[in-house]
Structures are given as structure tokens and as C-alpha cells.
Amino acid sequence: MKARIIIGANYGDEGKGTVTAHYTKHAEGKVLNILTNGGSQRGHSILTEDGSMTFQHFGSGTYYGADNYYSSFLILNPMQFVREYNSLIVKPKHIYRNVNCLWTTPYDSIANHISEEHRHASCCMGIWNTIRRSKSIKLNFDTFIKTNSVQEMYLRTIKRFYEKEMFIPDDWKDIWESKYLISHFINDCIFMYRHTETSGLTRTNYDELIFENGQGLLLGDTGKDEYDKTPSCTGAKDALCMLTEDDDITLHYVTRPYLTRHGDGFFIEDNVGVTEDRTNHYNEGQGEFKFGKLDINDLKDRIINDSNGLKFEIELTHCDEVDRVSSFKKVFDKVNIYDSALIK
């Protein structure tokens, strides 16, 4: 089985969506687009004949006909799923979901918003909150759906969990105390349940597996609860757990010719000749988009360490903005070139 693992090489926003869409469009046969890690805090934008599209809870290959699979390392968000599903121009024929996925409630997201009001390091999708809260309050998504009697009780338990942990500001109390919040969310959960499948996934039904990672290697889980990092493996490891040594695996490390980063966290800003990004969408929680210089040798060290001897290719995006193609080709054997225009 041919398998491609699309990996951000830096702080995210490298162009993983563009690369995923490209390989899906040119695949010889049927593609399963696997969302490997993280959650719907990802925002993978592609430019198509129908305009710009941003995928958060769906794979960037969806527009080109790929089915989707949510791995056990992905955190589900029923609210975002409904919003995005209804806006899709092309909907996947099959959306498979691992039964062990954690899932975010509105209380996790709101608590995230409150904590980020005085800093900028999160998309406010409740990722860290979901993981922390699930250590003490956790229920399988399918059990939640199938057991009507526990639904409201479970959500109110999560609400009380945060009320004991943090102060709810006055300007958040209307939505926090809304009698409609729980009922609307339960409806979103039911919608997601009805539009996803937990059985029937067979690898032999596909010609190619494309793993679309979230975030980037410089944001990977360090084992510590760090506000400016992501609580997931951003490299090849989790995807490799789902493959075998008989699979034809290629790792695709995506990078711009320069570095970028959202909001807070260590970052050395520098003039790279780019002052505005054409594909990144501003997120209030993450703050401003920053630019800096990329050391290609440091990049090589990160990739060699993560790839662990497996074959890999460099996916160099935004080349129409900064021309460093020759420098990359001196360091790496295989460099594929993209600009910021339509998927080729």
C-alpha cells in the first residue's frame, strides 16, 4: 500500500493542506485522507478553482474526492464538524471515526477562550482543556450518544469542573449559563454520529493513504504541559503506528523558505521580505502572524531525527515569495516546489 505522511517541519502554517491536496488530486486511484493528530485547531488552507478553502475537521484532500478517517490521536469537535460539513463543496462519501477519540465540549472551548484573553498562544478550540479535563471526566462518544439519560448530566459535570477550577467572567456568563447550549451541543453530537462510521473501513478499498498531520515539528509534545506547544506528536511516529513494514511509505516534510509563527512563544522575528501572508487566516486567540529566517541546516537536523532512516521528500511552499530553491537543493536530494497559487 502506498502511504504518504504529510508533516509540518516548523511551527505549523507551512502549507500541509496544499501538499495534501496536490497528492490527492494526482493519486492513481482512491485516497483515504487520515487526520493523524491534534484536533480542529488546525487550519489548512488551499486555493482551488472554486476559491480559497480552509479545512479544520476534514482532510484537505476532501475537495478532490478523498474519504476521511479520524485516527485515535485526533480530538473530535462536534460543533466544528457540523459547521464545516455544511459548508463543504465536496463532501466525503465516507467519514470514518476511531471509537477511542477524545471529544471537545463547548465548556472546554469556552474555558480555553477565557484563559487566552490575556495571552495569544492558542486557537481557542479547547484542545489542552479537553485533554486535562478528560483525565478526570471522560466518557466514550458512542456511549454518550446511545445513553440519553447521561447526556445532560455528563455535560453539567464538565461545567461544574470548570466552575471549581476557574472564575467565569461576567461577559461570558450569558453563554455559559445558556439553557440552549447543552441542547444545541447534543444535536451537534447526534449529527456527527450520524455522518461518521466506526466500522467498515478496509484498507484494500483504497489505493493510497495520505496522513495529514497537524501543527509542526517545533510545536511537538514535549511531555510537559506547555501553553505554547501542542499536546500531540507532530512528526511521523503516530502515523507509522498505523502502517506496516510492507507499506510503501514516503515522509513529506513541508516548509516555507522562511519561518512563521502565531502569537506568543519563543520566536526571533526578522526581515525575510514578506510582510503579509496570503493563505493564513487571522485567529484572535493566536494573535499576530510573525516572520523569521529559516536555518536550512537546523531544518535538516529536525527532519533526519524525525524520519529515522525512512525515505523523505521536501515540500517547499511559497517559493513565489522568497527564492531559496537552489539553497534547498544543495542540502536535500528531493525538493518539490510550490507557490501560493492554485493546486497544480
| pLDDT tens column, 248-275 | 999 999 999 999 998 778 889 999 988 7
SS3 state of residue 68: strand
Lowest mean pLDDT across 83-97, 134-148, 166-180, 285-299: 285-299
Q: What percent of the chain has pLDDT over 90?
A: 81
Confidence of residue 225 (pLDDT cuts 50, 70, 90): low
For position 227, what pLDDT does the model report? 59
Contact 67, 90 (CB under 8 A): no
Contact 95, 84 (CB under 8 A): no
Q: Is the pLDDT of residue 290 over 60?
A: yes
Distance (Å, whole) CA 206 – CA 2: 9
For position 344, what pLDDT does the model report? 73
Return the closest-CA partner of residue 299 out of 330, 266, 269.
330
Instruction: Tell me the average pLDDT across 68-93.
Output: 98
SS3 state of residue 76: strand
Phi and psi at residue 24, to the nearest 5°: -70, -45
Contact 254, 19 (CB under 8 A): yes
Contact 78, 87 (CB under 8 A): no
Quick one: which H or E segment has residue 87?
helix 78-87
Strands 259-262 and 289-292: antiparallel
Give residue limits of the domains in the chain. 2-98+198-337, 106-194
341 alpha-carbon distance from chain centroid: 22
CATH of 2-98+198-337, one of 3.40.50.720, 3.30.750.200, 3.40.440.10, 2.60.120.10: 3.40.440.10
In sequence order, what E strands does 108-216 have?
Answer: 208-212
Round to the nearest angstrom and report the end-to-end CA distance of the chain: 24
- Specify the pTM: 0.94
SS3 state of residue 215: coil
In sequence order, what E strands does 225-326 have?
Answer: 248-255, 259-262, 289-292, 312-316
